[in-house]
Structure 1
Amino acid sequence: SQCYTRLPCPQTTSVVDLLYWRDVKNTGVVFGASLLLLLSLSVCSIISVLSYVALALLSVTITFRIYKGILQAIQKSDEGHPFKQYLDQEVALPAQLVHKYSDIALGRINATMVELRRLFLVEDLVDSLKFAVFMWILTYVGALFNGLTILILGLIGAFSCPIVYEKHQMDISGLILCLYLLYCFCRIQAKIPGAKKKAE
């Protein structure tokens, strides 16, 4: 939140703007393209999807290139290549940015490997049992949904939950507080000897 209010990091701010629909046009394009891509992957293979996307993009650029060439020939103008300004732009990734995120990814991968080793080799029995229960629950989740379905649901949730919470923040916060108080009350009641019998 501090990053968003002080605006020192444009990458985080742009993601927040997308999720909260600050610019409806940009968010709609990103959300629609992402959802279309995931739905396409659920029907076709990733090779087919990438090939169709590349063919569609090439069809647009080649058609526009030919159209501008014919237009220049008719008007006898010398405007040059229609995509010249984009061809002159540098598209290489900054080395500093690559090193930064590579170090972050490497640190998280190493931490994950250490944690998995600790869980699988049963350094702590309780943690390993919790991990086993989590994996067992995931087997049921995997039987109901595949990975792409979960990604599609996650994408829809990421673009809908923040804006819904922002518009109905007071109601949702009140509901969460009520559920939390009810949970705490049930926990306390379960620990009091004879409370359940008296209630009955």
Structure 2
Amino acid sequence: MTSSCDLMYWRNPVETGKVFGGALVALLVLKKVNLITFVLRILYTTMFATASVEFLSKLFLGQGLVTRYGIQSCPNVVGFLKPRIDTALTQLPPAMAKFRTTLMAQSPKTTFKASGVLYVLCKLFSVMSLWTTLLVGTIAAFTLPVVYKTFQKEIDATVAQGVEAGKHHASALQSTVSEKASPYMKQLDEKMGPVSGFIKSRVPATRVGGSNVTAESSTAKLAAQVPFEEPAQATTSSADFPTVPSTHLGNGHIVTDETTGLAHEVHEAHEPIRQ
């Protein structure tokens, strides 16, 4: 059985061509043909043809050709579908667990990525129809992997340059917005008056290295410390537990002083046996 990666990378051109061509034909049929009327037309045409042949063959030959040479048993649809449905159902609980962890943001980085992908899909479906999206997606799935594999170095270098340029423009835009918003923030501070003073008194600014650290910068620092990945589970080994001091049972026993760490033997006095 050919895997999806082999199909996408055209490692077997014959198999990939069959799947790609079949997908395009199915999409064209879905676009141009009304499936309900198409299936009904095939059914009534087939039934009319079999009934006519059976009636005429019994009338002239004495026996029906359709009942004698036609399909004698139904295909094993249950045997074909049941293993595939069972395989899909066994894969459903892990997929649901992964969806739950993503939805509940156990890894904020993964949740941010998923929300970005869903946002792009929402905008894509708002612009294009479902059929157009399926057609473009099918063509892209069978062409983009091959193009990327062929020109991987050039594409990676271009993407790296684009990321660096985006970071530079974002930094410049942030500084520009900060400079333009600074006078308005000062005016707002002056207009708020007592409210601004109360907020400053509740969250006082501190000086670190000659610069003021305001509540906004402290909040940004705390937000930057929030982990985007799920922290690793801590493991505890037997070496982490303190060792138990050894004792010697006999006429006396050894006692270790916890403050000095010195061990000394304590002898127990035997009481005389009373008659």
Q: When the two structures are superposed, what TM-score results if normalisation uses the length of structure 2?
A: 0.43
- Give the percent of matched residue pairs that are identical in Structure 1 and Structure 2: 14
The one of the two structures with greater contact order (alpha-carbon pairs below 8 A, sep at least 6) is 1
Distance of 1:104 and 1:139 partners within structure 2: 30
> Relative to total residues, which structure has the larger strand share, 1 or 2?
2
Q: What letter is aligned with 1:90?
A: C
Structure 2 counterpart of 1:127: 110
Q: CA RMSD in A?
A: 4.0
Q: Secondary structure at the match of 1:20?
A: helix
The alpha-carbon deviation at position 117 of structure 1 amounts to: 0.9
Distance of 2:113 and 2:27 partners within structure 1: 34
Structure 2: 5+ residue stretches without partners: 3-11, 166-275
What is the count of residue pairs matched by the alignment? 155
Is 1:61 matched up with 2:46? Answer: yes
Q: What letter is aligned with 1:179?
A: I
Distance of 1:106 and 1:99 partners within structure 2: 10
**8 Å CA contact retained: 1:35, 1:155:** no
Q: Secondary structure at the match of 1:62?
A: helix
- CA deviations over 1:77-125 (Å, ceiling 9, x no partner): 3562436545313312354x54432232113321221111111111111
Structure 1: 5+ residue stretches without partners: 5-14, 191-200
Q: Secondary structure at the match of 1:38?
A: helix
Structure 1 counterpart of 2:124: 141
**8 Å CA contact retained: 2:57, 2:63:** yes
Equivalent residue in structure 2 for 1:20, among 17, 35, 38 = 17
> Relative to total residues, which structure has the larger helix share, 1 or 2?
1
Q: Which has the larger radius of gyration?
A: 2
The alpha-carbon deviation at position 53 of structure 1 amounts to: 2.4
Structure 2 counterpart of 1:90: 74
The alpha-carbon deviation at position 152 of structure 1 amounts to: 3.5
Q: Secondary structure at the match of 1:100?
A: helix
The alpha-carbon deviation at position 140 of structure 1 amounts to: 0.7
Distance of 2:45 and 2:102 partners within structure 1: 52
**8 Å CA contact retained: 1:65, 1:82:** yes
Q: What letter is aligned with 2:30?
A: L
Equivalent residue in structure 2 for 1:178, among 146, 151, 154 = 154
Call closer, same or farther: CA 1:85–1:176 in 2, change over 3 Å.
Answer: farther
- CA deviations over 1:143-179 (Å, ceiling 9, x no partner): 1123333224345556xx46x99xxx7x875434432
Q: Secondary structure at the match of 2:66?
A: coil
